[in-house]
Amino acid sequence: MLRVGIVGAGSMGAAHAAGWSQTPAHLVGFLTETFDPNLPLAQRHGATVFRSFDELLDAVDVVDICTPTHLHASMIVRAAEKRKHVVCEKPLALSTQEALRAVRACREAGVHLLVAHVVRYFPEYALAKSLVDEGAIGRVATLRLLRGSYRPRKPVGNWFLDESKSGGILMDLMIHDMDYARWIAGEVATVFARKITSVRPDSALDYGLVVLQHRSGAITHLAGAWAYPPPTFRTQFEISGDCGVIIHDSQATAPIESLILRPAGNAVPEVGLPSSPLAEDPYTTEIKAFYHTLVEGAPSRVTPEDGLAAVQIAEAAVRSAAEGKAIHLEPISV
Amino acid sequence: MLRVGIVGAGSMGAAHAAGWSQTPAHLVGFLTETFDPNLPLAQRHGATVFRSFDELLDAVDVVDICTPTHLHASMIVRAAEKRKHVVCEKPLALSTQEALRAVRACREAGVHLLVAHVVRYFPEYALAKSLVDEGAIGRVATLRLLRGSYRPRKPVGNWFLDESKSGGILMDLMIHDMDYARWIAGEVATVFARKITSVRPDSALDYGLVVLQHRSGAITHLAGAWAYPPPTFRTQFEISGDCGVIIHDSQATAPIESLILRPAGNAVPEVGLPSSPLAEDPYTTEIKAFYHTLVEGAPSRVTPEDGLAAVQIAEAAVRSAAEGKAIHLEPISV
Amino acid sequence: MKVKIGILSFAHLHAEAYVTALRAIPEVDLIGFADDDAQRGERFASQFELRRFPSYEALLEQKPHGVIVCSENSRHAPLVNMAAQAGVHVLCEKPLATTVRDAEAMVAQCRKAGVHLMTAFPMRFSTPLEVVKARLDSGELGDVHCFNASNQGELPKKHREWFVDKTLAGGGAIMDHTVHLVDVMRWYLGCEAAEVYAVANRIFHADEVEVETGGIVWVTFENGVFATIDCSWSRPPYWPSWGGLSFEMVTSRGAVLVDAFKQNLTVFSHTLQRPQWAFWGSDPNQAMLSDFVRAIAEDRPPRVSGEDGLRAVEVVEAAYRALELGQPVRLR
Amino acid sequence: MKVKIGILSFAHLHAEAYVTALRAIPEVDLIGFADDDAQRGERFASQFELRRFPSYEALLEQKPHGVIVCSENSRHAPLVNMAAQAGVHVLCEKPLATTVRDAEAMVAQCRKAGVHLMTAFPMRFSTPLEVVKARLDSGELGDVHCFNASNQGELPKKHREWFVDKTLAGGGAIMDHTVHLVDVMRWYLGCEAAEVYAVANRIFHADEVEVETGGIVWVTFENGVFATIDCSWSRPPYWPSWGGLSFEMVTSRGAVLVDAFKQNLTVFSHTLQRPQWAFWGSDPNQAMLSDFVRAIAEDRPPRVSGEDGLRAVEVVEAAYRALELGQPVRLR
**CA-CA-CA-CA dihedral for B252, B254, B257, B262, to nearest 10:** -100
| Mean pLDDT rounded to a whole number for chain A | 95
State the smallest CA–CA distance between residue D181 and chain C in angstroms.
26
Q: Does B190 score more than 70 pLDDT?
A: yes
Percent of chain A clearing pLDDT 90 (strictly above): 90
pLDDT of residue A177: 98
D275/C274 Cβ within 8 A: yes
* pLDDT tens for each residue of C193-229: 999 999 999 999 999 999 999 999 999 999 999 999 9
Which residues in chain A are closer than 8 Å to C267, comparing Cβ atoms?
A: 131, 136-137, 244-247
- Pairwise CB contact (< 8 Å): B211 & C199: yes
Q: Cα-flanking dihedrals φ and ψ of residue C127, to 5°?
A: -55, -50
B158 touches chain A (CB under 8 A): no
D38 touches chain B (CB under 8 A): no
CATH class of A3-116: alpha beta
CA-CA-CA-CA torsion sign (A162, A167, A172, A173): positive
In this complex, the residue of A126, A246, A278 whose CB is nearest that of residue C267 is: A246
CATH code of domain C3-120+285-305 = 3.40.50.720
Residue D203 contacts A where some CB pair is shorter than 8 Å? yes
User: Residues C251, A281, A182, CA angle at the centre, nearest 5°?
Assistant: 125
Whole-Å CA distances, D291 to B19, D52, D107, D127, D305 = 22, 25, 19, 14, 12
Q: How far apart are CA C107 and CA B21, in angstroms?
A: 71
- Ordered by start, the domain boundaries in chain B are 3-116, 119-328
Residue D126 at interface with chain A, using a CB cutoff of 8 Å = no
Q: What is the mean pLDDT of residues B102-128?
A: 98
Neighbour order of strands in the sheet with B256-260 = B256-260, D254-259, D246-251, D144-150, D226-230, D214-221, D193-201, D329-330
CB atoms within 10 A of CB B68: 19
B262 has a chain A CB within 8 A of its CB? yes
pLDDT tier at A161, thresholds 50, 70, 90: confident
C281/A278 CB distance under 8 A: yes
- Per residue in C245-255, pLDDT (tens digit) is 999 999 999 99
**CA of B264: which chain D residue's CA is closest?**
D140
Q: Is the pLDDT of residue B75 over 60?
A: yes
**Rounded CA separation C211/C200 (Å):** 10
Domain D123-282+313-330 in CATH: superfamily?
A: Dihydrodipicolinate Reductase; domain 2 (3.30.360.10)
CATH code: domain A119-328 is: 3.30.360.10
Rg of chain A on CA atoms, in Å = 19
**Confidence at residue B262, expressed as pLDDT on a 0 to 100 scale:** 67
CA nearest neighbour of C192 among C323, C25, C311: C311
Q: What is the pLDDT of residue B157?
A: 80
The reply to whether C237 touches chain A by the CB within 8 Å rule is no
User: Are the beta carbons of D274 and C238 separated by less than 8 Å?
Assistant: yes
What number is the average pLDDT over the span A160-181? 94
Set of chain C residues whose Cβ sits within 8 Å of the Cβ of D203:
none
Q: Which of A83, A88, A89 is nearest to A108 (CA)?
A: A83
- Please say if the pLDDT value at position D190 is more than 80: yes
* Cis? peptide before B231, omega within 30° of 0: yes
Could you say which of B232, B260, B261 has the minimum Cβ distance to residue A259? B232
Closest to C288 measured CA to CA, from C312, C263, C266, C260 = C260
Q: How far is D141 from chain B (nearest CA, A)?
A: 7
- Is the per-residue pLDDT at C64 higher than 90? yes
pLDDT band of residue B263 (cuts 50, 70, 90) is low
Q: Does D252 touch chain A (CB under 8 A)?
A: yes
Instruction: Give the one of D142, D251, D259 whose C-beta lies nearest to B255's C-beta.
Output: D259
How buried is D190 (Cβ within 10 angstroms: 0-12 exposed, 13-18 middle, 19+ buried)? exposed
The pLDDT tens digits for D255-296 are 999 999 999 999 999 999 999 999 999 999 999 999 999 999
Q: Which residues of A97-113 are buried (b: 16+ CB within 10 A; e: fewer)?
A: ebbbbbbbbbeebebbb
Contacts of B209 in chain C (CB under 8 A): 146, 148, 218, 226, 228
Q: What is the pLDDT of residues D55-64, one digit of tens each?
A: 999 999 999 9
Which residues, 6 or more positions from B64, have their beta carbon under 8 angstroms from its beta carbon?
Answer: B4, B5, B6, B7, B13, B16, B20, B86, B87, B88
Q: Which long-range contacts (CB under 8 A, 24 or more apart) does A132-137 make?
A: A132/A184, A132/A239, A132/A241, A132/A246, A135/A243, A136/A243, A136/A244, A136/A246, A136/C267, A136/C269, A136/C271, A137/A239, A137/A240, A137/A241, A137/A242, A137/A243, A137/A244, A137/A245, A137/A246, A137/C267, A137/C268, A137/C269
In this prediction, residue B144 has a pLDDT band, given cuts at 50, 70 and 90, of: very high
Distance, CA of C25 to CA of A129 (rounded, Å):
25
Contacts of A205 in chain B (CB under 8 A): 261
* Chain A residue set in contact with C, beta carbons under 8 Å: 123-124, 126-128, 131, 136-138, 243-248, 253-264, 276-280
pLDDT in tens, D209-265: 999 999 999 999 999 999 999 999 999 999 999 999 999 999 999 999 999 999 999
Contacts of D130 in chain B (CB under 8 A): 277
Q: Which of B196, B324, B328 sits opposite C146 (nearest CB)?
A: B196
pTM for this entry? 0.96
The answer to whether the Cβ–Cβ distance between D266 and B137 falls below 8 Å is no
pLDDT number for residue B270: 77
Q: Per the CB < 8 Å rule, is D258 touching B255?
A: yes
Top mean-pLDDT range of A112-116, D1-5, D13-17: A112-116
pLDDT at A271: 77
Band the pLDDT of B266: cuts 50, 70, 90. low
**Which of A205, A232, A261, A262 is most worth mutating to test chain B (most B CB atoms within 10 A of its CB)?**
A261
The per-residue pLDDT for D257 is 97
Per-residue pLDDT tens over the stretch A27-67: 999 999 999 999 999 999 999 999 999 999 999 999 999 99
What is the Cα gyration radius of chain B?
Answer: 19
Mean pLDDT of C281-291: 98
- The predicted complex's ipTM stands at 0.96
C-beta neighbour count of B121 within 10 angstroms? 23
Q: Is B55 helix (H, G, I), strand (E, B) or coil?
A: helix
Q: Is the pLDDT at C95 greater than 90, yes or no?
A: yes
CB contact (8 A) between residue B247 and residue D271: no
Closest CA in chain B for residue D267: B246
Give the distance from residue A248's alpha carbon to the nearest chain D alpha carbon, in angstroms. 15
DSSP state of D243: B
The helix/strand/coil state of C16 is helix
The domain spans of chain D are: 3-120+285-305, 123-282+313-330
* Mean pLDDT confidence for D315-321: 98
Which residues of chain B make contact with D258, given a CB cutoff of 8 A?
A: 255-257
pLDDT of residue B265: 54
For residues B214 and B239, the answer to whether their CB atoms sit within 8 Å is no
Residue closest to D48 by CA, chosen among D19, D77, D79, D87: D19
Convert chain A into a string of H (helix), E (strand) and C (coil): CCEEEEECCCHHHHHHHHHHCCCCCEEEEEECCCCCCCCHHHHHCCCEECCCHHHHHHHCCEEEECCCHHHHHHHHHHHHHCCCEEEEECCCCCCHHHHHHHHHHHHHHCCCEEEECHHHHCHHHHHHHHHHHHCCCCCEEEEEEEEEECCCCCCCCCHHHCHHHHCHHHHHCCHHHHHHHHHHHCCEEEEEEEEHHHHCCCCCCEEEEEEEEECCCCEEEEEEEECCCCCCCEEEEEEEECCEEEEEECCCCCCEEEEECCCCCCCCCCCCCCCCCCCCCHHHHHHHHHHHHHHHCCCCCCCHHHHHHHHHHHHHHHHHHHHCCCEECCCCCC
Q: Cβ of B76: how many Cβ atoms within 10 Å?
A: 29
- Which chain D positions have a beta carbon within 8 Å of A240's beta carbon? 204, 214, 232, 234
Report the residue from B196, B244, B325 with minimal CB separation from C236. Answer: B244
CB of D248 within 8 Å of a chain A CB? The answer is yes
The single-letter DSSP state of residue D114 is: T
For residues A195 and D146, give the distance between their C-alpha atoms in angstroms, rounded to a whole number. Answer: 9
Return the residue of A nearest to D200 by Cα: A219
- The pLDDT tens digits for D30-67 are 999 999 999 999 999 999 999 999 999 999 999 999 99
Q: Do B255 and D280 touch (CB under 8 A)?
A: no
- Chain A residues in contact with D232 by the CB 8 A cut-off are 141-142, 240
The answer on pLDDT for A268 being more than 80 is: no
Which of residues 90 through 109 in chain C touch B, CB cutoff 8 A? none
CA dihedral B301, B304, B310, B313 (to 10 degrees): -140
Q: Residue C152: list chain D partners with CB under 8 A.
A: none
Which positions in chain A touch D206 (Cβ < 8 Å)? 242
